Structure 1
Amino acid sequence: MRVAVIGLGDIAQKAYLPVLTAEPGLELSLMTRDRAKLDRVGEQYRISRRHPDLDGLLADGVDAAFVHAATSAHVPLVEALLGAGVHAFVDKPLDYSLAGSRKLVEQAEAAGLSLMVGFNRRYAPDHVEALEHPRDLIVLQKNRSIGPEQARPFVFDDFIHVVDTLRFLVPGEVTRTSVRHRAPDGLLHHVVLELSGDGFTALGIMNRLSGSTEEVLELSGRGAKREIVSLSEVVDHSGGRPALRRRGDWVSVGWQRGFVQMCRVFLDAVRQGVTLSGRDALLTHELCEQIVRQVEDGDGAAPTG
């Protein structure tokens, strides 16, 4: 199967290429406008098919593509790929706008092609296992120390992982959504999302002035609590005695963080002729759009839903 990797930034080099180059049966090609990077990464992974533009890549032939270019380039790139009959895997988000995201989902559906969004936490083994744990209360904090930012890139580039992970983990239908935030200077400092339904509450928190980079997920209910730290450590609390389980010495970071499993889901679908829909991912983008509009409107705590 001929598979392209478009965009060779940090996420492509650290998370995806180590996985894809280890998968059997793939003929890989690379694309980036940066010729020096194209040759350097091509030499590193011994990939001879290298293209500085999309026209050359498509002319060379490709069945599926992993798109890791800048978010602002997603819509034109993915439109062209889908128009050429190429299945697409796209780093989150699909686009900074809901309209652009919806356009891609609808185009993929009309063409009968797979469109998958890179929400790796849905495939991380500790998160998948968490679906079997009591989840009356879910608290996910993904804090950063990189400073405040405009609401749209803050939410769509970063907080979107929190939004999607909560949607994945909630144990029932969400009947109420509320958002709180702080943006005193026009830049978003922190945001808190609450999703609730019959018997559960889920809180997603991001503080960009926290002084720390951390990701901590807590699930609790029925006398038990599970804490997942940085997708690599699990602490179970029951009866006052915490039990710690760390990632095994021989377990790869790509597997622990869900990248291996996620890539295989996409690749297996292409191989087997199964079409993956982007509709559920679009619901995450819709919620992100709702958060951004509330922040931009200056509404600090209005419930919705």
Structure 2
Amino acid sequence: MKVAVLGLGDIARKAYLPVLTALPGIDIHLATRNPDILRSVGEAYRIEKRFADLEALIGAGVDAAFVHAATAAHPRIVERLLGAGIHVYVDKPLADTFGEAARLVQLADTHERSLMVGFNRRYAPAYAALRDRPREIVLMEKNRHDLPAPPRRVIFDDFIHVVDTIRFLAGGAIERIEVNTRIVEGALHHVLLSLSGDGFTAIGMMARNSGSNEEFVEVIGAGEKIRVDNVREVTEHSGGRRASSPPSDWTAVTAARGFDPICRAFLAAVASGARLDAMDALETHRLCETITRAAEQGRDGAIPL
């Protein structure tokens, strides 16, 4: 299978290329407009097929593509790839507006191509296992140190992981949504999202002026609490007892963080002819648009479904 990797920044080099280059039967084609990066990454991974032009890459007959370009370039690149009949995996967000994301999802449907958004936390084993536990309360924090920024940038480029994860872990159908934010001179300092329904509440929080960069998830219910730190370190509390399950030293970070399984899931679908749609990912983008507009307009509290 001919597989393109477009955009060779940190996420491509650290999370995706180590996975893709280890898979059998994958003929990797690299693409970026930066000739120095193209050369250095190609040499590091011994990949000879290198392209500085999107049309030349498409002309090479790739079957599928992983898009890791800047968010602003996603719509143009994804649209062209889908139009050329290529299955697409794209880093979150698909686009930084709901309207553009919806257009691309419809385009994938029109061309009958797979479109998958890189919500790797759904495939992280420690997070996925939480779906089998009682989830009366879900709490997720993903904080940043000294990084206030405009609301749309924060919510679509970073908080979107929190939105998608608490949607994924929510204990039932979502009936109520509440948002609280703090904006200082046009920059988002914190955002808190609450999703609730029959018997559950899922809360996601991000502070952009925190004292540290951190991420954790807790689920509580039926007399137990499970906490996952940094996507992979599990601590269970039950009956007044506490037990920790650190990841094995032999577990690759790419596997623990879900990159390995999500890549395999996408490529398996392409290989089998099963088409993946991005409708559920689109719902996360819709909610991010609603949160963004509430933040920009200074509207806290309940928001419509």
Q: Shared fold by TM > 0.5?
A: yes
Pairwise mapping of residues 1-305 of structure 1 onto structure 2 (< 5 A)? Answer: 1-305=1-305
Contact in 1 for aligned 2:78/2:88 (Cα 8 Å) = yes
* Alignment deviations for residues 98-144 of structure 1 (CA, whole Å, 9 cap, x no partner): 11101110000011000000000000001111111110000000011
What is the distance in 2 between the residues matched to 1:197 and 1:280? Answer: 18
Question: Which runs of no fewer than 5 residues in structure 1 stay unpaired?
Answer: none
Q: Secondary structure at the match of 1:188?
A: strand
Q: Is the 8 A contact 2:179 2:193 kept in 1?
A: yes
1:217-257 deviations in Å (ceiling 9; x for gaps): 01001110000000121000012221000010110001000
**2:187 is paired with a residue of what secondary structure?**
coil
Give 2:169's aligned amino acid: L
| 1:158 maps to amino acid | D
Say what the alpha-carbon RMSD is for the aligned residues. 0.8
CA contact (8 A) 1:181 1:301 kept: no
Number of positions where the alignment pairs a residue of Structure 1 with one of Structure 2: 305
Q: Give, as a single letter, the amino acid of the residue that structure 1 aligns with 2:239.
A: G
Q: Is the 8 A contact 2:30 2:51 kept in 1?
A: yes
Give the drift of 1:300. 2.6
The structural deviation recorded for 1:302 is 3.7
Q: For 1:178-226, what per-residue CA distance to the aligned partner results, in whole angstroms no more than 9, with x for missing partners?
A: 1001003221000000000000000000001111111010100111000
**Mapped partners of 1:146, 1:115: distance in 2:** 34
Deviation (angstroms), 1:303 = 3.8
Instruction: Quote the offset at 1:171 in angstroms.
Output: 1.7
Deviations 1:136-180 (A, max 9, x none): 000000011142110001000000000000110012100000100
* Deviation of 1:59 (Å): 1.1
Question: Contact 2:269/2:275 (CA < 8 Å) preserved in 1?
Answer: yes
Give the conservation status (yes or no) of the 8 Å contact 1:178–1:301: yes
**Secondary structure of 1:74's aligned partner:** helix
Check the 8 A contact 1:144/1:208 in 2, yes or no: yes
Indicate the SS of the match to 1:183. strand
Q: CA deviation at 1:15?
A: 0.2
8 Å contact kept, 1:85–1:113: yes
- 2 CA distance for matches of 1:189 and 1:47? 42
Deviations 1:50-88 (A, max 9, x none): 000101101111000000000000001011101100000
Residue-by-residue CA offset, 1:3-57 (whole Å, 9 max, x unaligned) = 0000000000000000000010000000000000000000000100000010110
1:304: Cα distance to partner?
3.0
CA deviation string 1:278-302 (max 9, x = no partner): 1110000000000000011111334
CA distance in 2, matches of 1:215, 1:304: 28
TM-score normalised by length of structure 2: 0.99
Contact 2:176 2:302 in 1 (8 A): no
The code of the aligned residue for 2:175 comes to T
User: How high is the sequence identity, in percent, across the aligned residues?
Assistant: 53
What is the CA–CA distance in structure 1 between the aligned matches of 2:106 and 2:272, rounded to whole Å? Answer: 22
Alignment gaps of 5+ in structure 2: none
- 2: distance between equivalents of 1:262 and 1:147? 28
Counterpart code for 1:54: L
Bigger Cα displacement from structure 2, 183-192 vs 36-45: 183-192
Work out the CA distance in 2 between the residues paired with 1:304 and 1:65.
Answer: 36
